[in-house]
Each structure stands twice: as C-alpha cells, then as structure tokens.
Structure 1
Amino acid sequence: MSENTHETKLVNFAMANNTRRKIINFLENGCKSTGEIGVITGEAVLDFHLKILQQAGLVELEEKTVKLSEYGKNFLKNKTEKGKEETADFSQAKPIEIARIRQVLPCIADSSRLRVSANMTPPLGGVLKLLEPLFTRSSYSDQKDSLIIQKGEIITTIYGNGKVSIRMIKNEDEAKEELERLKSIINEAIAKGVAPAPREKIRVDLKEVYRYLPQTNCGKCGEQGCYSFAIKLMARQVSLENCTLLKESKYASNQEHLQVLANYI
C-alpha cells in the first residue's frame, strides 16, 4: 500500500477507534477466525470494523479468516519501535511546577461553575502523550498537542506548551486542589523515569452518548432520531457538528460533555 494522503487518512481513521486497535494487536501473533475477533467486537459490528481495516489495507480476509497484511505488519512494527523511542525520551523529563492561577472566569457551559487557567513549567512537550495512561479517563490529541482529563464533572486540558485549563470547577480552592493533584501524579511518574504502560481507553457506552443528546428527535441532523444519531456518532460516521440543536445555549453543557466523550470513541 503506497503512502499517499488518501491512504494515510484511511489508516488514521481506522486506528482512531479503540476496538479496531484491539483487533490489530490481537492479530499480531497470527491469523484469527472471524469468530475469535467477534468476541472482541461483538457480532453486530464485526463486519463494520473489518471492512474499515480492510479498506485501510491493514488486514486481509480469506473466507472466515483474518490476518495482518504486509502493510499492517509494518505499521504495527513501526508503532512498537516508535513507542520504544518515546519511552527513552521520558527518562529525560524534569519535575514540573504549576504557577499560580492567572485567570478565573465563569464556565461557558454552566455559569454557576468556573473555568481557570494556569501555567505548568517546564512545558511537558513530547512527554505529554506518554502520561495518558496515568489518568482513568484521558485522551491525547496529536493535532492539538493536548491531554484532556476528566474527573467527574471536572474537565482538565494540559497543553504541550505548558498551559493548563480546568472547566466545571466549583471555586478557586477546588482548582488549586486539582492542580496539586495533577502535579503530584505527574511528578511521581517522572521520578520513576519510566513511561506508564499503555492502556486501552475506556469504552464509551452508547446510552451515555444518547443521554447528553437533546433527545428531541427533530431530524435536522438527517437521522431518524437522536438514538440513530448516537449510533452513527459511535461509528464515527457523523460528527457533533451535525446536531445543530447542541449549538443552542441551553444545550451548552451537553455539548461540552459530548465533546469529551467523543475523544474516547
């Protein structure tokens, strides 16, 4: 499979999904039957995930057997080698300090809550991605060079340049406590000098996504109803932008939660 923009997008789309990453890793030790893979995916979406992986050139299907293509083997090998390089870089990380909170404003999604900004020094830069496994609900974005962390209602974003943003905070004291917690967790990992073992991201439940949608079944998104939209969203066939009602002020909090959930899909 040649490396062109279209094919790269297909691979990125295929590997953006947690279930498809599990399939690729499962195939690392040899070909598997569709029945064995169905245990991972569930029979209902098995064909859907295999088709995407096949279109990306990562797997080959022969009757009821699935195996990694040569391209898929090279992709997995390069990914492993890259991971080893990142682990080595982690040992060079320095302990961080968090400067005083420099901005406190009402939260856009809920005016009764606050959003605060602070600075982390030195900036974590390339190490930031390696810290993702430290937090139960977290997702790293290569595009934005940011790590989003969710703890209950609190949503924290750490950027590679050192900026830290926390939303849905009750008061400034709670913000300080959360910043100290982050500092402690990160510095403890840095002191060990070894990158945390990669973990599988949390599986987002369809009902959880549906709960934050408007549930009006208005059809403006082009789907039959909000539940159908939730299914398409889980399959990455639609984006949150398609739901125009979420742009209304009364759904601001819903949209914020859905944006976080979308990072785990």
Structure 2
Amino acid sequence: MENERMENEKRVVLCIKPIKTDLLFQSGNTESEPFQMNPYDLKALENLATLKKSNQGDFCLTCICMGDKKAESVLRRALAMGADEAVLVSDKMFAGSDTVATAYVLQKAMVKLDNVQMIVCGVKTIDGETGQVPQGLGERLGFTSIANGNEILKITDTDVIYKSRNGNVIQILQSKLPAIVKFNDFRVNLPITSLLAIKKAKKKEILLFDSTNMKINPEKCGLKGSKTKVKEIRNKFVKSEKVKVDGGVHEMAEVLSNLIEHGEHGKGENLGG
C-alpha cells in the first residue's frame, strides 16, 4: 500500500462492481472509459467519503474491484473521490465465477487485508441483479448482515449507525461491527471531481490481488467453483419499432390506448389517416 496504516486502524472496504459503460449510458455519450461504477456502489462511495470528511468515522476506506485491468479506471475514479486505497482482484482463473465463486474470491481478499471491520456492497448490480454476493461473503466471514442500509450515518470503534427505509418508514438503526452492509440507494451520474484529485489518483498505487498471493483453491473459483449453470441468455432490452401516427390528438390517443391494452399487437391498429 502507498501509505503505511497503523495496525489498530479499522478498515472499511467498499466492493465496487465495474459495469460496462454502454449499459449505463446511450451509445452517443462521450465517456471514453470502458467501465463505470455500479450505481449503488457509486452512491455508497459518496456516502463513505463524506463520512470521512465530516469526522463521522475514523477509518481507512479501501475500494476493491474484481475484474480485468480495464477496471483500474473505476478504481482511479474511486481514489479521486476520496478512497484511501484501491485493490484490483484479477486473475484468468476467476473468469466465469458465479455468485458463490465470487463470494469465495472476495472472502480470500478480505482475509489478506488487515483489520476489516466493515464491508459495503451495493444491494445489487444492474448487469446481474442477483444481490447474492453480500450474503455469501458475510456468511463466509461471520459478519453481521445489514440487509437494507440506505445511508450510513456514523462508524464508531464498535458500531455502525445507519438509516433503513421500508416503504414510507425510515428508521435509524445501530449494529455491531464487524458487519457487511447491503447499500440500497443509487446514483447514476458521476459527481464532479476536481482535475487535481484525478491527477493525484493517477499517481497512486493500485494493489493487485491474484490467485497466487491470495492462496486461491482453483476448484472453488471460475467455472469450476460455480454452482450456477447458465442454459440460456436473453436480452431483456428489446428495441421497439417506431409508430407513426397520421392524425390529430384523438387519433394519437386511440393508438396509445391500443398499445397500452394490447402491447405490440395493438400498434398496427388505428394509426390514423
């Protein structure tokens, strides 16, 4: 690590899932980076960075990504936003890992890091939406599981205080550390980050964890360690054809009514004329 940390300083680890830029933004966007942060992880990072600045928690904030070298751009952004350290978990052996195998690999990464007292994960990722990794990781580590954290308010030496929203009911709750939090709030657009912070982030070290230095069992990761078998993949985003309506307001209203009632089957009816 770039900076030596005191042995007794607690570490808060944010797990960031790199998401392909095309999934978040339209093809015409000007983003040059191949990956972006999962929106739930991005909001959690913003929350944790704000806590550090407001002295509501004395901790080392470590951001960790599991992916290939291209994911380093996401970690650089995390460092620019206020993370203290960045770790890339990367190895060809990890390719094809499902939620079970991913939880195993991340658990080995947490063991390699010192004094991890809290782990934060987005409640789900927008490219998978299983939301199973946090539970699997927490069970492997024996951490208290916080299923629905909407905002982390304070991190003490022994506890985490957070907001939890259930419908219209908002509660302020407190849980013992060590704990793993499923963060249930999101942000899509990147916050404005100063050029100086980005420049400093590019000079910081990103630590690489691979199968060798994490002492990974090859039978428990990648396709070999995955319990899920994918039989078929379907693209749920189907681009609809455009419907042109020749006529006035009444004709347009009739077409919309047909589309709502009959879906695609109703678009050929009553197009006006």
TM-score, normalised to structure 2, is 0.22
Instruction: Return the structure number with greater relative CO, CA threshold 8 A, min gap 6.
Output: 2
Higher Rg of the two aligned structures: 2
